[in-house]
Structure 1
């Protein structure tokens, strides 16, 4: 009896398909994790470029459904297309129901923003704004590049501190 229980998880008991399935399920990290080559100066240059694209989002929402509470909140987003006026943020920030929202840029310039998409599966959503509404700031955009994302990639998070400031 002990022998059959031990064999139950073995390839003999499961058949030749089990070794093929194990190979298909194995995951290799590609590219393999390497020691970071970014210097402090590299990060400073990157932050100087991206901070002007980061915005503080202030939202006010009514109670949309039984599971969502009404209220006001702060969040972080960043400009992904400044020509069309598109800001990327998290799904819960865009809200499932009506929302009134503003974006505050690094120079404290505030503009109204409007929800355009809330992904039903992944944790992202988009707001839009009128690019002509930005009068005093020369700001950047952070273009989306999903093909560059990989396991082991070193990142830095830039965001706001409860709506008080942008910090890196």
Structure 2
């Protein structure tokens, strides 16, 4: 292949891989007050998950770890987290809410393809915290949407 043909093919490939991303419109940008209101509502629904895998199973090793999850269904007591947190094998786990209430949680689903899993808890076990669920809204996700991530710092506390 000639040098010109290689250069032309390289330019075509680069153009195929590029995409134009529009910046967010000014009127859609959230203010600091908007973020404060949103965070005050969602932080109580974010939990620290502490898990203990009693033995190595599949590709996961035995051990203890901590992670973040959030309540997606308050009435049924369902917490969403990452797939590896739910573990492929036997696991003992507990969730700690922002007010330090700790409750046991039980794995109910670990997606085989996507990076999510669910734990279940008894909603009646939360006695002292008023919290809301964070509803899932996959249709609202798109490139360029401004987000904030709320999670825990190595299991120490919940941080915005």
TM-score range, shorter chain: 0.7 to 0.9
Q: Deviations over 1:124-167 (max 9, x none)?
A: 10000011111111111100000000001111110111111111
Mapped pair 1:53 → 2:63: no
Return the alpha-carbon distance in structure 2 between the equivalents of residues 84 and 28 of structure 1. 42
Return the alpha-carbon distance in structure 2 between the equivalents of residues 76 and 43 of structure 1. 20
Which runs of 4 or more aligned residues in structure 1 lie more than 4 Å from their structure 2 counterparts after TM superposition? Answer: 25-29
Mapped pair 1:100 → 2:99: no
Which structure would you say has the larger Rg? Answer: 1
Mapped pair 1:126 → 2:118: yes
Say which SS state the counterpart of residue 151 (structure 1) adopts.
coil
C-alpha RMSD over aligned residues: 2.4
The aligned residue for residue 138 of structure 2 is 146
The aligned residue for residue 17 of structure 1 is none
**Contact 2:47/2:69 (<8 A) preserved:** yes
Q: 1:74 to 1:2 in 2, by over 3 A?
A: closer
TM-score w.r.t. the length of structure 1 is: 0.82
How far off is 1:39 after superposition?
1.1
Mapped pair 1:2 → 2:2: yes
Which consecutive residues of structure 2, in runs of 5 or more, have no partner in the other structure? 10-14
TM-score w.r.t. the length of structure 2 is: 0.86
The aligned residue for residue 103 of structure 2 is 111
The aligned residue for residue 33 of structure 1 is 23
How far off is 1:62 after superposition?
2.1
The aligned residue for residue 166 of structure 1 is 158
**Contact 1:33/1:153 (<8 A) preserved:** no
Return the alpha-carbon distance in structure 2 between the equivalents of residues 61 and 135 of structure 1. 28
